[in-house]
Structure 1
Amino acid sequence: MDSILALMQSPEAWIALLTLIVMEVVLGIDNLIFISILTNKLPPDQRETARRVGIGLALVMRLALLGTVAWIVKLTTPVFELFGHGFSWKDVILIAGGLFLVWKATKEIHHNVDPADHDEDFIASTANASFGAAIGQILLLDLVFSVDSIITAVGMTPHLPIMVVAVLVAVTVMLVAATPLANFIEKNPTIVMLALAFLLMIGTTLIAEGMGFHVPKGYIYAAMAFSALVEVLNTLSRNARLKAKAEKRAMH
């Protein structure tokens, strides 16, 4: 208790907390985009529940990992060497998660670009994705993003209470933003393609990080923000043109 009171009175601790909250929220965007796209494929009455379960699992997983910080730190220790590069369990997890994201995003992009080029079973499975399958895929990506998130937190502060508060705030933000983001993506088909492109880029980045190539996160999120801004401007322009056409027809 005394240590927590000391942290509350420390300006450095508050700065670390605010910085870590921002970092955790930003890192959670990747997870949130994936959850939004995946749950939008479920029947409407299951989507909200799936989002809450998926984000709830992310919270449980991150808090559980925080309880094993000493073990998490060891995940960065190389366990085998390949082509002259030492790979840790963190690298293996990032590569596996990156490959899954690339596969999933490529598959969804193919389906969106050429929906006719699929057999009936595939169409049925994507149009009526099962709740269990969606949660399973969310859980897999939760693990990847949680490991990355917690290792980032450990690198920024040694204080466990700060990490816990940052994770709780970040996941709460995800919970609040999940449904509005998913609805926005669903109502704007071009946004779906942009979000899938983001997932493809994130997956590639995870693979690169796992292979030992450091990719500054700032560049990735700056590119995502710029692309999203351009798409929002395109959407506003398109809506303005449609509104003008509707008003012109009404006048005639």
Structure 2
Amino acid sequence: MLSLSSLTALLQVVLIDITLAGDNAVVVGLAVRRLDPAQRRIAMLVGIGAAAVIRLALAVVATKMLAVIGLRFAGGLLLLWVCWKMYRELRTSEARHEDSAPAPGALRSAITRIIIADLSMSLDNVLAVAGAAGEHMWVLVSGLAISVLLMAVAATLIARLLDRYRWIAWIGLLVVLGVAIELIVGGGNEVLEHIT
């Protein structure tokens, strides 16, 4: 079970997770930033729990997903929709006083955004982790667990920063928008190559 190749694969997986967890953490932090602390914990637990299930499900079918043309493009469009929702929320919160209570349904909305964003952004992470893990299933499962844990820790820190420094939320939105555009362009190129 423990061999040099499996330990090397685990190290690669951890490095991939550290590199790719940031984008997802920004989305989670942006989604929960306006919730009160109790709702924030609920949204993060449910959203990150759903992220774990999504990543495990994606990992099970990761090799088959490589053959699906347009999947990255569709994920980019979903993420673009998440960006639009975040943009509207940021503009609304700028217009209102920050001390006002979260809008009704804010918890459900935050959880929905976390799940949709994670679904659209996790594909690259899962494929990279599955590729690095190779035939070592325990490395794959460990890598997915590490990525979810990193996302939870980073999202908590990001949400706290966003509470104190609102301008960071706009930078975070630009980061997520960049990921959406990258997915759309990359996925669009795949579709065009397949058509031609």
TM bucket normalised to smaller: 0.7 to 0.9
Q: Tell me, which stretches of 5 or more residues in structure 1 are unaligned?
A: 79-87, 117-123, 214-252
Distance 2:25 2:13 in 1: 18
Normalising by structure 2, we get a TM-score of 0.81
Name the structure 2 match of 1:49: 42
Structure 1 residue 97 corresponds to structure 2 residue 78: yes
Note the C-alpha offset of 1:112: 6.0
1:73 to 63, 70, 75: 63
Does the Cα contact within 8 Å between 2:75 and 2:183 map onto a contact in 1? yes
Determine which structure has more spread, i.e. the larger CA radius of gyration: 1
* 2:179 maps to 1:165: no
1:200 and 2:177 correspond? yes
Q: Contact 1:94 / 1:207 at 8 angstroms: preserved in 2?
A: yes
Counterpart of 1:12 (choices 5, 11, 15) is 5
Letter in 2 for 1:32: A
Alignment of 1:180 with 2:157, yes or no, is yes
Partner AA of 1:75 in structure 2: M
Structure 1 position 182, deviation (Å): 0.7
Cα contact 2:29–2:158 (8 A) shared by 1: yes
Q: Secondary structure at the match of 2:66?
A: coil
1:77 Cα deviation from its structure 2 partner: 2.1
CA–CA separation in structure 2 for the residues paired with 1:93 and 1:158: 26
Change (3 A) 1:148 1:125: farther
1:38 is matched with which residue? 31
1:143 aligned onto 2:116: no
Greater length-normalized contact order (CA 8 Å, ≥ 6 residues apart): 2
Identity %: 27
1:187-231 Cα deviation digits (max 9, x unpaired) = 012212211221221221121121127xxxxxxxxxxxxxxxxxx
**Residue identity opposite 1:45 in structure 2:** A
The residue that corresponds to 2:193 in the other structure is: none
Aligned Cα RMSD in Å? 2.5
Deviation per residue, 1:147-198 (Å, 9 max, x gap): 2221222232322221111111121222233322211111012212211221
Q: Between Structure 1 and Structure 2, how many residues are aligned?
A: 186
Amino acid at match of 2:28: I
Q: Which runs of 5+ in 2 are unaligned?
A: 191-196
Report the Cα distance in structure 1 between the residues aligned to 2:43 and 2:86, rounded to whole angstroms.
Answer: 19
Counterpart CA distance in 1 for 2:92 and 2:106 is 18
Q: Secondary structure at the match of 1:77?
A: coil
Shift of the 27–149 alpha-carbon distance from structure 1 to 2, 3 Å rule, reads same
Change (3 A) 1:53 1:89: same
What CA distance in whole angstroms lies between the structure 1 residues aligned with 2:78 and 2:170? 20
CA distance in 2, matches of 1:209, 1:128: 37
